[in-house]
Amino acid sequence: MKQADLPLPLPQNFQLDLDIKGSHLFIKASCSPKSKPFHLELDSDSIAQITNSLFTDVQSMAQGLKDALNNSYPGLKLSFDNNGKLTYSASFSAGALQKEFSFSLDLIEEASEGSTASLEKKVEELNHEVEELKIQNEKMKLEYDEKITKMEQIISQLEEKIEEIQKASLPLYGKAATPGEVFFNSDSKMASNFKLTDTNKTIQCIKSFSFNYCLECLPKIPLTGKSCYSLKVHKVKGWIHFGITREAISDNWGKNGGWYYYTIKIGTLRADNSEFSANTRAPTGDDNSLIQMIVDMDAGVIVFYVDGYQAQSCQIKKNCNYNVFVSLGSMEDLATLL
């Protein structure tokens, strides 16, 4: 090596930072804390090629640079110039033979704040953060999907338990009962509000109203035994009441108690002055549904079936005179007693 080619000595305030991350060595150097910094990233393959296999991995390379920086061994030197060239040199003697070896690393100047390179680096860093957030978002989505699935399973299990409780609390009754032959009372005060056809078996409201009209049927329900009454719903816009009453029907119906009825399409059961919510295990009734009502005067029980499914039941007072009745909630409602 000629005298003119000898590397310059290290600047007095030379800064060198070495950072190993996995299989990569990150080198950062500057002539002083206030001067422009330079950097370089190396992996094991590039290290072996640059150093002609003097160093073969990031650990040995980092240790070699540290030894040269600290003059740990005779003949080891490290130099750095203002253009970012970091030179490692080693010389040793073997008898009369003098051996020298060196290699240089051209570090890259770090972009100054506001430069295009700096902005591009910032964009790269932000893109990396965005990708990391996307990965985290996918992980969180998977976690939330799993939580939602588990919660839906718990809800399903709870609904099954509710059905079991409801089933246990709802006595089952057989349909064996005497068919009750009834027809709408055309002589009732409320009959003028309806159109009655099929020998007073089919009912339709002919007046618009702000509350529902109802009409009782004849004859009265027997005081003993079990009777079955059926209503074929042709059309129900809002709801239709089907049940029994011991109160005389008037414009002020349902105010004095003694009413037991099922609300078709909504599914609720009115039991005197109490109301039971819809049974989720059975249909609530709609257009073309068949509603059956069994009145057991001996047991004091009324049971409603909707399209063959037991929907509701409750206790009724015995030894009372009851009439079957139907109440319509819309001019479009149409039903027939069977």
- Domain spanning 178-337: which CATH class is it, in words? mainly beta
4 pLDDT tier (thresholds 50, 70, 90): very low
Q: Which residue has the tokens 């996307």?
A: 134
Residue 39 has pLDDT above 70, yes or no: yes
What pLDDT is stored for residue 253 in this prediction? 53
pLDDT for 109: 84
pTM of the model: 0.50
DSSP string, 192-232: GGEEEETTTTEEEE-S--SS-EEEEEESPPPSSSEEEEEEE
Can you tell me the mean pLDDT for 199-209? 86
Beta-ladder partners of 18: 27
Parse the chain into domains and list their residue ranges: 3-109, 116-169, 178-337
Cα–Cα distance, 29 to 226 (Å, whole number): 101
Quick one: CA dihedral 52, 56, 62, 64, positive or negative? negative
pLDDT in tens, 132-168: 888 888 888 888 888 999 999 999 888 877 766 655 4
154-158: which pairs have CB atoms within 8 A and are 24 or more residues apart? Answer: none
The pLDDT value recorded for residue 2 is: 40
Q: Evaluate whether 56 touches 48 at the Cβ level (below 8 Å).
A: yes
Kindly report, residue by residue over 227-278, the tens digit of the pLDDT: 999 999 999 987 899 999 987 665 455 555 688 999 999 999 988 778 888 8
Mean pLDDT, the chain, whole residue set: 84
Distant-in-sequence, close-in-space partners of 169: CB < 8 Å, separation ≥ 6: none
Q: Which CATH architecture has domain 3-109?
A: Beta Complex (2.170)
CA distance 130 to 97: 58
Residue with tokens 């819809």: 278
Give yes or no for residue 293 having a pLDDT over 60.
yes
